Structure 1
Amino acid sequence: MKELDILAIGAHPDDVEIGAAGTLLLAAKRGERVGILDLTYAELSSNGTVERRQSEAAAADRLLGAAHRYNFGLPDRGLERVREEAISRVVDLIRETKPRVVLAPYWQDRHPDHESVSRIVREAVFSAGIRKYAAGQSHPAYRPAKLLYYFINTTAKPDIVVDISGVFEEKMNVLRCYRSQFELETDSVATPLNNGYLESVSYRERLFGQQTGVAYAEGFVSSVPYVVDRL
């Protein structure tokens, strides 16, 4: 398997796209290899079947230009029960694909699965660089250069913003692939996702953009400072 430049990780299909689709679109347009990992199939979602969500994810991948999408099939709303397995499998994927950057959900979110994934990925990124951790795995130790956190349902002050003005409409088209989640259909259950959620995403990216002098931006948080040699 070829190495990745960015590995973006979420609990459910659409998590990564909500927080980072614009950034991934820009990376793919630069010729970088982008991978997405969903830890679950979101089988407990109020709307949409697993099969439909997978079809929607495939459509989103085509628009994103993603090089690969993975799904570990771990239990939706049961990630804490399989925490050690999840960490080990993420470690193995990181070591195999050697991403320069890993993206994970921000650690505070109304959905417990998003918070669980944030903690799992943080531990996995750290453990992936420990030579003696899971030494029997087929890939040597490797630690990504950056771990950044993207926003799903929570907005906080970002440490980094990416100007996505040029691909903002493309990002929204990626999100619209998930019709089962963001549209109130005749057989849908009303949820926060199909009650103006895409408009709130648009507002958030516009707000981040206004704060930094561009039209639209995606925000990311880092848990560690960055070293620079000039301002």
Structure 2
Amino acid sequence: MLAGVSLPPAPFQTIFGAAQPLDWLCLAPHPDDAEIGAGGTLIRLARQGRAVGILELSRGERGTQGTPEARVAECVQAAAIMGLVWRGQLGLPDGELRDTLPGAHALAAALRAVRPRVLVVPHHHDRHPDHFGTYQLAKRAVHLAQLRKADLSGEPHRVARVLLYQGNSDIRPTLLVDVAAVQDTWAQAVLAHESQFGGESVSETVTPEIVERRRARLTYWGTLARARYAEAFEAEDPLLVDPLAL
């Protein structure tokens, strides 16, 4: 984690913890997306003392179930369960997440504020427009955040690594993370979003069967990794691997 960095005024709302330089930051189009797609990995990192955070781009205000206020409270509860050091919301409009210059400026300013080393974003193959829109928006924001002459507050920041996480569609991962040891905590964090997963089923994602359904994917990826459960990610750039660790 970076130390001694002077943080500019926040271009977001902090709902949990304190804005600070982060080791890992997960971008979520809506509340609960980060928990579902990358929650186990984030929990593992937090348990190892890494500074881990989540930034929701929207408040999920157009979702069929739950209110923005209820969903904020659920995000706070899930953050505590996961051991996050920070959780924030950018406040972009739900249902309209796409690559726009104002949105990219807002996100780039947020990246400069919390200065993540690793950024985790939804995969561009996701069927949900807000999810692949978040990917496209993140690509521009990552570029803007490192430009010294960009019209942004804060010091330039270069994200060292971008990883893509699985949402609602299949992916071809280049990285699998063993999350078997944190399954109980992961399930608690997901189910903290009671407004989405405690009522009737309205979609394949908004359903009380969410843990069972997502765990089936974790089991599949775990089989390939020779682990009980694994989360899948894709790295767009080649990963440097120590051959002695293989």
Normalising by structure 2, what TM-score? 0.86
1:14-60, CA deviations, whole angstroms, 9 ceiling, x for partnerless residues?
01111111111111111111111001111110111111111111110
| 2: CA distance, partners of 1:36 / 1:218 | 17
1:95 alignment partner, one of 105, 109, 112: 112
Does residue 117 (structure 1) correspond to residue 130 (structure 2)? The answer is: no
| 2: CA distance, partners of 1:96 / 1:191 | 35
Give the superposition deviation at 1:141.
1.4
Give the superposition deviation at 1:171.
0.6
Q: Is the 8 A contact 1:182 1:198 kept in 2?
A: no
Give the superposition deviation at 1:196.
2.9
Q: 1:229 to 1:64 in 2, by over 3 A?
A: closer
Q: Secondary structure at the match of 1:132?
A: coil
What is the match of residue 190 of structure 1?
Answer: 202
What is the match of residue 235 of structure 2?
Answer: 222
What is the match of residue 102 of structure 2?
Answer: 85
Give the superposition deviation at 1:195.
5.9
Does residue 178 (structure 1) correspond to residue 190 (structure 2)? The answer is: no
Q: Is the 8 A contact 1:11 1:114 kept in 2?
A: yes
Normalising by structure 1, what TM-score? 0.92
Which residue identity lines up with residue 13 of structure 1 in the other structure? P
Which residue identity lines up with residue 83 of structure 1 in the other structure? T
| 2: CA distance, partners of 1:6 / 1:42 | 22
Q: Which runs of 4+ in 1 moved over 4 A?
A: none
Q: Secondary structure at the match of 2:61?
A: coil
What is the match of residue 165 of structure 1?
Answer: 180
Give the superposition deviation at 1:190.
2.6
What is the match of residue 8 of structure 2?
Answer: none
1:146 alignment partner, one of 161, 170, 192: 161
Q: Secondary structure at the match of 2:196?
A: helix
Which residue identity lines up with residue 133 of structure 2 in the other structure? S
| 2: CA distance, partners of 1:115 / 1:7 | 17
Does residue 23 (structure 1) correspond to residue 41 (structure 2)? The answer is: yes
| 2: CA distance, partners of 1:79 / 1:92 | 17
State the Cα RMSD in Å.
1.6
| 1: CA distance, partners of 2:242 / 2:218 | 29
**Structure 1 unmatched ranges of 5 or more:** none
| 2: CA distance, partners of 1:58 / 1:6 | 18
Does residue 41 (structure 1) correspond to residue 59 (structure 2)? The answer is: yes
Which residue identity lines up with residue 75 of structure 2 in the other structure? A
Which residue identity lines up with residue 94 of structure 1 in the other structure? L
Q: Is the 8 A contact 2:90 2:107 kept in 1?
A: no
Q: Is the 8 A contact 2:125 2:171 kept in 1?
A: no
Give the superposition deviation at 1:228.
3.6
**Structure 2 unmatched ranges of 5 or more:** 1-18
Q: Is the 8 A contact 1:18 1:201 kept in 2?
A: yes
Q: Is the 8 A contact 2:120 2:162 kept in 1?
A: yes
1:115-139, CA deviations, whole angstroms, 9 ceiling, x for partnerless residues?
10011112211221222222xx332
Q: 1:229 to 1:171 in 2, by over 3 A?
A: closer
Identity %: 34
Give the superposition deviation at 1:175.
0.5
Q: Which has the higher helix share?
A: 1
**Mean Cα deviation higher: 92-101 or 57-66:** 92-101
